[in-house]
Every structure is written in C-alpha cells, then in structure tokens.
Homo-oligomer: A and B are copies of this chain.
Amino acid sequence: MLRFMKKRSLKIGLPPGEAVYVGEACPWAPQLRIIDFDADNLEECETIEASDIVPYKEKSTVTWIDISGIHRVEAIKKLSDIFKWHALVVEDVVNTDHHCKMEEYDDYIFLVLKMIRFDESAKQIGKEQISVIFGSNYVVTFREKKDEFWAPIMNRLRSSRGRIRRMGADYLAYAIFDLIVDYYFDVLEKVGFEIEDLEDELIREPQKITMNHIHSINKELLLFRKTVWPLREVAGRLAEGEHDLIQEMTLPFMRDLHDHVIQVIDTGEAFREVISNLLNLYISQISNRMNEVMKVLTIFAAIFIPLTFMAGIYGMNFDVMPELHAPYGYPILLGAMLTVACGMLYFFRRRNWF
C-alpha cells in the first residue's frame, strides 16, 4: 500500500534542528565515496570516515562526496561540522519525510529532492530522498540506499572528454538533478503504459476491469504529483540563477531542467485527467451493463408472464368452461400464445432492446 506520510509522532516537542532518522532501520554502515576532479585529473576513493574529506575541502578542484545511508546521524553531523552547515540542514537530510525544497545559504545551496523509481520486483513506485548540498567547490549527496544509482554520472565523470569535467560544482549538481528528473519520465512512461492497457481493456473487455485497478493508478498519480509539485518551485528558482553559486554558463542547463520539470508535471496532470475520463467511461459501462441485465429480465418476464397467465386460465376447474371442450381449443390457444410472444418480441425489437 502506498503511503503518504512517514511516522512522525515521535518528534513532537523535540527541539528543532534535532536530527532524528525516521526511515527504516538499516544494519549496514553508511559509505562515503569521494570523487575529486578537474578537467585534467580525477581521483576516486571510498571510506566510512567523515574526517577523510577534510583535505579535499580547500582544494580548488570539484569534490563530490556521495553518502549512501543516512541512518547514522553522527557521521552526518561530523560532516556538517566540517562544512559548517546550519543545524536545520542535518535535520532535513535525515528526515526522509520532507517534501522537495531548496534552501539558499550564503556559501552553499541545500536541495531536498525525491527520487522516484518503478520497482520492478515489487511492481510499485518506490521513493527515496536524495539531499544535495553544493558549495563553490564541492557537492555532497545523501542517499538512503546503496546501489549503482549514480553510475551514469560517474561514467561521464571518468571519461575525460565530457563537458561535466570542465564545468563547476553547480553543473555537477545540475547533472544530479537532471538524472533524478530522467527517472520521473521513466515512471511516467510506465504509468502511461499502464493507463493505455487499462483503456484498452476497458474498451474491449469491460467486464474484466475492476475499479480497484483504476483506483490504484489514481493513487500512484496522486503520490507522484505530491512528490513532483514542489519541484517546480525548486527548479524555477535554480533557473532564475540569482544565487552567486550558479554560474552564467550553467544557466541554460538549469532553464532546460526547469522545462523538463514543468513537462513532467503537465504530463502527470494530463494522466490524471485521462484517468478521470476512464473513470467516467467505467461508470457509464456499469450503468450500461445494468441496462442490459434489466432488458434481459424484462424481455423474459414480459413474454412469459402473460403466457403463463393464459395457461393458468385453462388450468382452472370451473364446471362450465366451454373453451375446454371445443375440439380445436388447445391448438387455438397455442396459436394465440405464439401470437402474443411474437407481438412482444416485435415490440421490444422496435424499441431497439435487442
């Protein structure tokens, strides 16, 4: 079942800035992967010690620190001390129930993003919070899980020819955001296929569809929308590029990103309207089927009830019923019954009932 909230009641009355991890407990230790690069060189290492990143702090090269696993709050706090982030930043990084947002500080920008992926095994949409903090020469990303999610960007970094090696930390942050938005398109595409299948079935074999199916897609879209909507503002503010950290050179890319986000949102809204149309289609089909059922009943009843009555008449035991003794009484009655039945059929036929 898709959830719209995580358990927060634990937090009532805690001082703000008190970082509390609200996700599932994880047994593994969070990992730091450090990639330090400029146009010419690239250095890459993995560690579990936050203090290992100190030497990179003052270098003019761009350093990408990717943290997988945010369930050890102390490690993140140590990092925060090194980079001198605001106390609320750490709180928001570990509180995975946050919506997307952007906080601008003097020398760094803090982004809370939501990654949405279609989990093939569970056949449902999976969410993950990805926090990005970038300053003039570093980008720090926080993920809940550890897998090869960043591979496309890492590969582009490792190749010495890519534009990504020549641009600054803001472009790397853009590339990270863009990768996440690409996944939105992927999810939309899959939901789009689901909707088309549903529509197909609804038109060809309406009786097989259950309302539950429509409802579940609707819920997915609602969750999708709730996640994506706040992105519009985040991307919009990045595209305006008022913060000094975003260079002139990166701006067209940020505007392109903004465009993509708007397209994602618009497509999601269009899907919601399609679903709403399908719901109308479904409901009208239920009514139509009811009409069909009623017609079958009415045709049967209207034909056989009068006939049964006629048979009932001549089943009576009155002493004086001259028809019973007429030699052709029986075939005449059968003929009359046939006439009535045909008359009924003609009546319903003319009313287009079948």
Contact = CB atoms under 8 A, between A and B. Distances in A.
Interface of A: 1, 3-5, 7-9, 11-17, 86-88, 91-92, 98-99, 101, 103, 151-153, 156, 162-164, 174-175, 178-179, 182-183, 185-186, 188-189, 192, 196, 199-200, 203, 207, 211-212, 215, 218-219, 222, 226, 229-230, 252-253, 255-257, 259, 262-263, 266-267, 270-271, 273-274, 277-291, 293-298, 300-302, 304-309, 311-321, 323-325, 327-330, 333, 352-353
A212 B218 contact: no
14 contacts: A3-B192, A4-B271, A5-B189, A11-B182, A86-B252, A87-B163, A101-B259, A211-B280, A283-B283, A287-B287, A300-B301, A304-B305, A315-B315, A315-B316
Given A266-B99, A294-B290, A320-B329, A302 B300 contact: yes
Given A13-B153, A300-B302, A317-B316, A290 B289 contact: no
Task: Kindly report how many copies of this chain are found in the complex they form together.
Answer: 5
A162 B162 CA distance: 49
Nearest to A305: B304
A179 B296 CA distance: 55
Nearest to A185: B8
A281 B15 contact: no
Contacts of A273: 222
A187 to B, nearest CB: 10
A277 B218 contact: yes
A15 B164 contact: yes
Contacts of A218: 277
A275 to B, nearest CB: 10
A151 B4 contact: no
Contacts of A311: 309, 312-313, 315-316
Contact of A286 (B183, B200, B291, B305): B291
